[in-house]
Amino acid sequence: MIVIAGPNAAWKTTLAPFLLRDKLGLLEYVFWEFYQPLADAWAVYDNSQAEAALLIASGDRDVPLLKYDNWSWISFSGTKP
């Protein structure tokens, strides 16, 4: 288990994708292999802007993946277009 902890404004959100996905290759593995089979439904939001959060993708037991914003999903998941 990897825990990225720290006070507000400590760059945790900026560090997490770089460290987990790019350096350790863990972000997709943790979700897809562990959490998705346990979830009845899930959603991924981009809340990096001051405006309302943007729904990037969602899924449930019957429909495993619906992408609403493909480019944001590629950035989040590290997949190719």
Classify the C-alpha dihedral 67-73-76-78 as positive or negative.
positive
C-alpha Rg value of the chain to the nearest Å: 13
Identify the pLDDT of residue 30.
59
Provide the pLDDT for residue 1. 67
* Residues forming a β-bridge with 58: 43, 66
Report yes or no on whether pTM surpasses 0.75: no
pLDDT in tens, 46-79: 888 777 888 998 988 888 788 888 888 887 776 6
The confidence score (pLDDT) of residue 29 equals 53
Which amino acid makes up residue 39? A
Residue 13 has pLDDT above 70, yes or no: yes
For residue 42, the SS3 value is strand
pLDDT digits (tens, 9 = 90+) for 19-55: 877 777 765 555 666 667 777 888 888 888 777 888 9
